[in-house]
Amino acid sequence: MQIEGTSYHTIWFDDNVKEIKIIDQRWLPHQWEIMALTSSDELIEAIRDMAVRGAPLIGVTAAFGVWLICKESANKKSPNLYFEKQILALRAARPTAVNLNWAVNHQLEIIQHGSSWEEKMTTSLAGAKSIKQKEIITCEKIGDWGLEIIQKMYEKKQEPIQILTHCNAGWMACVDWGTATAPIYKAAKAGIPVHVWVDETRPRNQGAAITAWELGNENIPYTIIADNTGGYLMQKGEVDLCIVGSDRTAVNGDVANKIGTYLKALAAKDNHVPFYVALPSSTIDFNMENGMNEIPIEERAAQEVLFIKGKHEDKLLEVQLAPDDAHAKNYAFDVTPARLVTALITERGICKPSKEDILSMYPENR
Amino acid sequence: MQIEGTSYHTIWFDDNVKEIKIIDQRWLPHQWEIMALTSSDELIEAIRDMAVRGAPLIGVTAAFGVWLICKESANKKSPNLYFEKQILALRAARPTAVNLNWAVNHQLEIIQHGSSWEEKMTTSLAGAKSIKQKEIITCEKIGDWGLEIIQKMYEKKQEPIQILTHCNAGWMACVDWGTATAPIYKAAKAGIPVHVWVDETRPRNQGAAITAWELGNENIPYTIIADNTGGYLMQKGEVDLCIVGSDRTAVNGDVANKIGTYLKALAAKDNHVPFYVALPSSTIDFNMENGMNEIPIEERAAQEVLFIKGKHEDKLLEVQLAPDDAHAKNYAFDVTPARLVTALITERGICKPSKEDILSMYPENR
C-alpha cells in the first residue's frame, strides 16, 4: 500500500546489500524510518519492542529471522547450540501470536534436509520470501471475501458503510493489504463509500497512530475515537459492522486479539451489529481446542500504560500520565468467545466460528 | 479527604477574603493548585474547562456561581438582564450533569423572595454552603450503604475485595468522600482489605490521573489499567464488583456516566459480576422517564482525543497522538440501560434501577 504516494511493503529483503529491511513502526505516525535488521538479536528485539508488530508481520519477520540465525550459526564454534538457543529466543519474543511459531516451524521443516549452513541459508531465505508472498496473497483474498459482505450491505443501505475496527490489523500488521483493513481497501477501490471508526487502542495506540495513518495515506475517511466510545456509537446505530484481526484463533472459534476486542464484541452483540474477524489461516491454532482456556495472554510492561509517546513542538517524547508511584497492569490481548463472533473471514472464504465449520474449510487440519 | 496528609474539600468559601476557592484539577496528578473564582465568567469557564468536574461538584460550584452572579448583578445598569444572561450561561456550561440545573433551580427558588441584591447574595451564599454540606453528608451515607455490600462480600470471600471503577467518581468529583469511592473509603476505614482496578478513562484520563492520585493519598491499594482491560479481568474472575458514579440517572434507572461505562456494564453482566451505580439523589432526573432516549450526551473537542497532557522531565506539556490531519469524535458520556445495573446506591439506601423502586425510595417525587 501507499505511504505518501509511494508503494511499500512492511518488510523486504534488500538484494543489493543482502539485508532484511523493515519500516520501524515505533514512532508512527510522527516518524517512520527504514531500519536494517543485521543480526538475529536485533530482529528479536525488533519483534519484542514492536518495531514490527501484528501477527502476520511477526510471522514473516520470524521467517527471515531463521535465515539470519542460519547465517550466524555458520560462523560459530558450536553452530547447532547457537542455532537452538537463538531459535528459542525467537520463539519467545512474543507469546500470543501463533504465526511466530508457525513461521519458525515451517522454516525448520524446509531447512532440515540442508546438508550445510550455506544450503540452509539458501532454503530459509527462499522460505521467508515465499511466506511473505503468501501473506500478501492471503490478505488480498481476505479482502475479496470481505468486500462481498460490504458490497451486500451497501446495496441495501445506499449510504456510506460505517465500519468499526480495533487496533491495527492493517497492512502495517501484515505485509500488504492487512487483514481487517483488506475488505475496507477493496471496498474503496470498488467505489463503495466507507467510513472507519478507528479505536485509539490503548495502551500503545496502534489505532490512533498506525491505522489512522494507514487509512489517511489511502484517502479512506476515518474518525479516531477513544476505546470507550464504540458501544455508544453502536447504541446510536452509527456502526454497520465491526471488523477486527486476530493474534490467535482456536479451532473452536475463540479469538485472541488486542485487549478490548471482547468489549466491542459484547457491544456489537447487544446492538445487533455484525462482528467479523479477518484472519489468515496461519493465525488459526489447529492444535488448540478451546481459546478461552488455553491461549496464553502476554503481559507487557506497566510503563506502556503509565507513559505515552507523542509529538510536542516537532519533538518526539514520552509523557507520564499517572502519579509518580502508580501501579499498572498491561495485558496485551483478550479472548473473544466464539458466541460473540458473527463469522471469520479467511483467505478461503467466510465461515462460522465453530470447529465444524473451520475444519470443513481447512480439512487438511482434521 | 487527604492530600499529602492534609484534609481538603474540593471547593470552599474563604470567609477572610470572601472568595470561592477550588482545587484546580486540570493538571492532576502532576500539579494541583488552589484557585480563586472571582467572577461568574471565571466560574463558568472553570466548569467548562473542567478545573472542577464530576456531577456533584459541578452542582455545588454552580450554587456558588449563583451567589457570584447576584453579587455582580448588584453593580450592573440592568441587573435583571445581566442576571438572566449569566444564569443561562451557567446552565449551559456542561449539558449532561443534571446536578448543575438542579443546584441553579434550588438557588433561584430560595433567592426569589429576596427584596434586594444584597439579600439575594446572603441567601444564595447560605444556600450554596448548605448544598455543599448536604453533598458531603449524602456521599458519606452512600459510603455507609455501599460498605454493607462490600462487608457481606468480604465475610464470604475472606480475601481482598477487588473493585473496578471507571473515571473519577471520587471525592474530587464531589466535595468529600466521593460517590463510587465512598464505599471503598468506608471499607478501608472498617479494616476490610480492598484493591481497586482503576480504569484509565480516556480521553481525559480522570482514572489514571485523579482516581489513582486520590486512592494513593488515602493509602488504598490500586492498579491502573487501560479502559480495554476490564472485560479480560472479569473473564479471569479478578473483579468482585464494579462501582461507578453517574452524571444523570433517569427515573427508569438508565444511567448516564462517563463514556465507556456501558462497555464495562456489558462485561459485568456477561461474567456475573455485580454492577453498582453510586449516586446522590440530586443526580436522579425525576422528570426523565427514559434515559436511553432522552439524556443529552455532551460532545467535547476532538483535541481531547488527539492530544494528551502529561509530565516530561518535570515539565507539564501536551503531546500529539495522531497524524497531523487526523479527525476524532469525543462523546463524553454514554447511557447504561437499567437492565445491566445490579442496583443503585443512594443516600437513602440501595434500590433496584426501576421506576417503581426509585419512586418508593423518593416518594416525594411521585
Indicate the residue of B202, B223, B312 with minimum beta-carbon distance to A329. Answer: B223
Task: Judge if B215 and B125 occupy the same domain.
Answer: no
Q: What pLDDT shows up at residue B232?
A: 98
Indicate the residue of A223, A259, A309 with minimum beta-carbon distance to B228. Answer: A259
Task: Judge if A104 and A241 occupy the same domain.
Answer: no
- Give the ipTM: 0.94
Of A73, A100, A134, the one marking the end of a domain is A134
Q: B247 catalytic, yes or no?
A: yes
Indicate the residue of A209, A323, A334 with minimum beta-carbon distance to B321. Answer: A209
Minimum CA–CA partner of B201 in chain A: A228
B195 touches chain A (CB under 8 A): no
Q: Which three cell numbers stand for residue B172?
A: 474530587
Of B134, B160, B193, the one marking the end of a domain is B134
> Distance between CA atoms of A255 and B184, rounded to whole angstroms?
35
Beta strands at A307-312 and A284-285: parallel, antiparallel or unpaired: unpaired
CB within 8 Å of chain A, chain B residues 124-163:
none
- Active-site position among A247, A325, A334, A357: A247
Over residues A221-263, the pLDDT tens digits come to 999 999 999 999 999 999 999 999 999 999 999 999 999 999 9
Indicate the residue of B231, B262, B320 with minimum beta-carbon distance to A232. Answer: B262
Output the CA angle B160-B162-B163, nearest 5 degrees.
Answer: 135
Task: Judge if A356 and A325 occupy the same domain.
Answer: yes
Q: How distant is the Cα of B226 from the closest Cα of chain A, in angstroms? A: 6
Instruction: Return phi, psi of residue A200, to 5°.
Output: -50, -45
A2 touches chain B (CB under 8 A): no
A322 touches chain B (CB under 8 A): yes
B228 touches chain A (CB under 8 A): yes
Task: Judge if B55 and B192 occupy the same domain.
Answer: no
The mean pLDDT value for A294-308 works out to 96
Query: What's the pLDDT band for B166 if we cut at 50, 70, 90?
Result: very high
B213 touches chain A (CB under 8 A): yes
Q: For B98-153, give the DSSP string.
A: HHHHHHHHHHHHHHTT-SSHHHHHHHHHHHHHHHHHHHHHHHHHHHHHHHHHHHHH
A263 touches chain B (CB under 8 A): yes
| Candidates A206, A275, A321, A339, partner chain B, best to mutate (most B CBs within 10 A) | A321
Q: Give me the residue label for grid cell 447504541.
A: A235
Cβ-Cβ contacts under 8 Å, A334 against chain B: 228-229, 231-232, 235
> Distance between CA atoms of A79 and A59, rounded to whole angstroms?
24
Read off the amino acid at residue A215.
L
Counting one residue from A and one from B, how many pairs have CB atoms under 8 Å apart? 203
DSSP A39: S
Query: What's the pLDDT band for A325 if we cut at 50, 70, 90?
Result: very high
A312/B319 touch (CB, cutoff 8 Å), yes or no: yes
Q: What pLDDT shows up at residue B95?
A: 83
B320/A311 touch (CB, cutoff 8 Å), yes or no: yes
Task: Judge if A47 and A179 occupy the same domain.
Answer: no
Cβ-Cβ contacts under 8 Å, A216 against chain B: 323, 325-326
Whether the per-residue pLDDT at A35 is higher than 90: the answer is yes
Task: Judge if B215 and B281 occupy the same domain.
Answer: yes
B52 touches chain A (CB under 8 A): no
Read off the amino acid at residue B19.
E
CB A21 within 8 A of CB A175: no
B320/A297 touch (CB, cutoff 8 Å), yes or no: no
Output the CA angle B293-A261-A209, nearest 5 degrees.
Answer: 100
> Distance between CA atoms of A257 and A358, rounded to whole angstroms?
18
> Distance between CA atoms of A207 and A160, rounded to whole angstroms?
21
Domains contained in chain A, number: 2
> Closest Cα partner for B224 from A76, A329, A28, A209?
A329
CB A242 within 8 A of CB A163: yes
> Distance between CA atoms of A43 and A66, rounded to whole angstroms?
10
Q: For A279-342, give the DSSP string.
A: --GGGEETT-S-HHHH----B--THHHHEEEEEETTEEEEEE-S-TT--B--B-EEEE-GGG--
Q: How far is CA A124 from CA A68, A97, A108, B110, in A?
A: 9, 21, 8, 83
CATH of the domain at B111: 1.20.120.420
B225/A310 touch (CB, cutoff 8 Å), yes or no: no
Task: Judge if A172 and A44 occupy the same domain.
Answer: no
> Closest Cα partner for A7 from A185, A224, A180?
A185
Taking the CA atoms of A297, A300, A305 and A310 in sequence, report the sign of the dihedral they define: negative
B202/A306 touch (CB, cutoff 8 Å), yes or no: no
Cβ-Cβ contacts under 8 Å, B223 against chain A: 327-329
Query: What's the pLDDT band for A79 if we cut at 50, 70, 90?
Result: very high
Helix A98-111 and helix A55-73: axis angle, to 10°? 40
A328 touches chain B (CB under 8 A): yes
The mean pLDDT value for A1-21 works out to 96
Minimum CA–CA partner of A205 in chain B: B321
> Distance between CA atoms of B123 and A133, rounded to whole angstroms?
78
Q: Which three cell numbers stand for residue A310?
A: 507523542
Task: Judge if A116 and A163 occupy the same domain.
Answer: no
A299 touches chain B (CB under 8 A): no
A227/B228 touch (CB, cutoff 8 Å), yes or no: yes
Q: How many CB atoms within 10 Å of residue B36?
A: 12
> Distance between CA atoms of B231 and B237, rounded to whole angstroms?
10
A232/B319 touch (CB, cutoff 8 Å), yes or no: no
Of all residues in chain A, the percent with pLDDT exceeding 90 is 98
Task: Judge if A14 and A87 occupy the same domain.
Answer: yes
Helix A55-73 and helix A40-48: axis angle, to 10°? 160
Task: Judge if A207 and A170 occupy the same domain.
Answer: yes
Over residues A127-186, the pLDDT tens digits come to 999 999 999 999 999 999 999 999 999 999 999 999 999 999 999 999 999 999 999 999
Map residue A132 onto helix, strand or coil. Answer: helix
CB A69 within 8 A of CB A108: no
A227/B227 touch (CB, cutoff 8 Å), yes or no: yes
A228/B260 touch (CB, cutoff 8 Å), yes or no: yes
Residue A63's domain comprises 2-134
Whether the per-residue pLDDT at B97 is higher than 90: the answer is no
Contacts of A9 (CB under 8 A, 6+ apart): A132, A136, A175, A176
- Counting beta carbons within 10 angstroms of the beta carbon of residue B116, is it exposed (0 to 12), middle (13 to 18) or buried (19 or more)? exposed
Over residues B27-71, the pLDDT tens digits come to 999 999 999 999 999 999 999 999 999 999 999 999 999 999 999
The mean pLDDT value for B315-327 works out to 96
Q: How far is CA A189 from CA A143, A185, A194, A223, in A?
A: 11, 6, 11, 19
Beta strands at A194-199 and A161-165: parallel, antiparallel or unpaired: parallel
> Distance between CA atoms of B65 and B108, rounded to whole angstroms?
11
Task: Judge if A208 and A331 occupy the same domain.
Answer: yes
Of A134, A154, A188, the one marking the end of a domain is A134
Q: Which uninterrupted H or E stretch holds A10? A: none
- Active-site position among B247, B254, B314, B325: B247
B334/A232 touch (CB, cutoff 8 Å), yes or no: yes
Whether the per-residue pLDDT at B98 is higher than 90: the answer is no
Average pLDDT taken over every residue of chain B: 97
Q: What pLDDT shows up at residue A264?
A: 98
A200/B321 touch (CB, cutoff 8 Å), yes or no: yes
Q: How many CB atoms within 10 Å of residue B115?
A: 7
> Distance between CA atoms of B118 and B322, rounded to whole angstroms?
52
Q: How distant is the Cα of B46 from the closest Cα of chain A, in angstroms? A: 22
Map residue A105 onto helix, strand or coil. Answer: helix
Whether the per-residue pLDDT at A58 is higher than 90: the answer is yes
Read off the amino acid at residue A335.
V
Task: Judge if A14 and A99 occupy the same domain.
Answer: yes
Instruction: Return phi, psi of residue A115, to 5°.
Output: -90, -15
CATH of the domain at B152: 3.40.50.10470
| Candidates B224, B311, B324, partner chain A, best to mutate (most A CBs within 10 A) | B224
CB A208 within 8 A of CB B310: no
